[in-house]
Structures are given as structure tokens and as C-alpha cells.
Chain A
Amino acid sequence: MKALRTAVLVLFGAVLVIGGMSLPNRGDPDARPYRDPSPAGTPNAPSYYVRHAERDADTPNMVTVILADYRGFDTMGEETVILTAGLVCFLILRRGRPKEKRS
């Protein structure tokens, strides 16, 4: 059993190392996953982001530019979801106050 566990561990480690060696370079606009069109048929969106993010928004961190500028609506929705979660916690948890006086 222990030998099997070790073998599985080594196998996963080898898969990880081999997969990691063939990853594209960070920030390379011509890397295959950035260059190919998406399944929906959008051509080359990540490649555009990598090339133009700093010039478009004067911000070296392209993750920030994608998150807040290109995908601003998405982040707005996320923030609204957080506010909704907080309000729901408020409504559910603070309703128990009159019950507490009774018990």
C-alpha cells in the first residue's frame, strides 16, 4: 500500500514537472493559449490584452487592467454580490434579537 502511494505520488510529481516545463512564457503575447480564438469564436482577446494593457491604461499590472477596465462590469457584479451577501447576513442573523429577549 505504501509502495502504491509512493508510486502515485511520483507519477503526479512527474506529470506536474512535465506540464510545468511546457507552460508558455509569462506575458508572451504569441503563446498558443493566448493566440487561439476562444471556443465562442472571439479572436485573440488575451493576446490583445497582453499587448495593449499598459498603453491603454498606463498601468503595468495587466491583471488590474483586465479586472477593472476591460472587465469592469464583471468586477462591478462581484462587488454587488458581496454587498448582497452582507445584507443577507444582516437580515438573517439580526432577526433573532427579539427571540433572545424571550428566552
Chain B
Amino acid sequence: MMRGDDDAIISLVARTVSPFIMIFALYVIFHGHYSPGGGFQGGTMLAAALILVRLAAGNDLAQLQFPRSWGTPLGSAGVLIYWGTGFVAMMGGGRFLDYAFLPLAGAAPQRRSLGILFIEIGVGLAVCGILTAIYDDLLEGRPHD
């Protein structure tokens, strides 16, 4: 079923393109303050880069890059970053998810900007981990090389 690793062109193209997709995904996440984009879109592109390598190199070889046991913990970590940002703001004296009370330097608008960045990173990690985990779950029990 997954016999891509015997084709040199597919393997080479996937290996070459995947890091660039990752870089662009990080750009989409971190530049979401200034241009269309954000955590959901960037996380989807990160997952696309990981799944491209899984498709091209075979699921077993791709375990070296991103083991199948990492997906769900990464998704949980992203959700924890989001909730943790909210609770840190609460401990700083504000309400839940009120980024102006995060213990950071700068005026309130700058703190809000950084708070938005934190939760975008959390969303990106969660989406990336969960999409890769769903792909791995679908392949579970299938015969693959």
C-alpha cells in the first residue's frame, strides 16, 4: 500500500520540500499578527509537512522524524499552553485569559500582543499534533512496509 520509498524522485522531492513547508508554517504562525494566518493554519501546514514525509518515505521510516507516540502528547501540550496562559493571567490578578495581567515587560498592549502569540503557538502545536495523530491512527492495523 505505502510503497513510495523505492521511487527516488518522490523521496527526494518530499525530503527537499518538507523543511520549506515547515519554515513557511512557522512564518504563518508567527506572522499572524500582521498578515492572514495564525495557529490553525500554521499547525495544519506543519502537519502537512510531517504527513508528506510519512507518505513518501513510508510510515516506518518516518517514525525517526516524528514517532507515532508523540502526536497526542503534543496536542495535549498545545491545549495546556493555551489554558496555562489563561491561568497565569488569572494568577497575575486579572480574569481568565486577560493577557494584560501576564507577568511580562512592556505596556498593556504589548503584553496582550505577546499573550496572543503564546496562544497561537499553543493552537499550532495542538493542531499539528492532533492531525498527525489522526493520520497515524488511521494507518494503525493496516499492512504497511
Chain A residues packing against B (C-beta within 8 Å)? 55-61, 63-65, 67-69, 72-73, 75-76, 78-80, 82-83, 85-87, 89-90, 93-94, 96-97, 100
Contacts and interface: CB of A to CB of B under 8 A. Distances in A.
A78 to B, nearest CB: 8
Interface string B75-103: 11011001100100000000011010000
Contact of B113 (A59, A82, A85, A87): A59
Contacts of A79: 78-79, 82, 122-123, 126-127
Given A60-B34, A64-B33, 12 more contacts: A55-B109, A58-B113, A64-B32, A69-B112, A75-B82, A76-B82, A79-B126, A82-B127, A85-B134, A87-B72, A93-B137, A97-B140
B116 A59 contact: yes
Interface residues of B, number: 39
Nearest to A85: B130
A interface majority secondary structure: helix
Interface in B91-145: 96-97, 99, 109-110, 112-113, 115-116, 119-120, 122-123, 126-127, 129-130, 133-134, 137-138, 140-141
A81 B59 CA distance: 27
A59 B30 CA distance: 12
A96 B35 contact: no
A89 B68 CA distance: 14
B72 A93 contact: no
A83 B32 contact: no
A79 B83 CA distance: 10
Which DSSP category, helix, strand, loop or mixed, fits chain B's interface?
A: helix
B34 A69 contact: no
23 contacts: A55-B109, A59-B34, A59-B113, A60-B33, A60-B34, A64-B33, A64-B116, A64-B120, A65-B116, A68-B120, A69-B116, A72-B97, A82-B127, A82-B130, A83-B75, A86-B75, A86-B129, A89-B133, A89-B138, A93-B137, A94-B137, A94-B140, A96-B141
Contact of A75 (B33, B110, B123): B123
B134 A89 contact: yes
A56 B137 CA distance: 42
A60 to B, nearest CB: 6
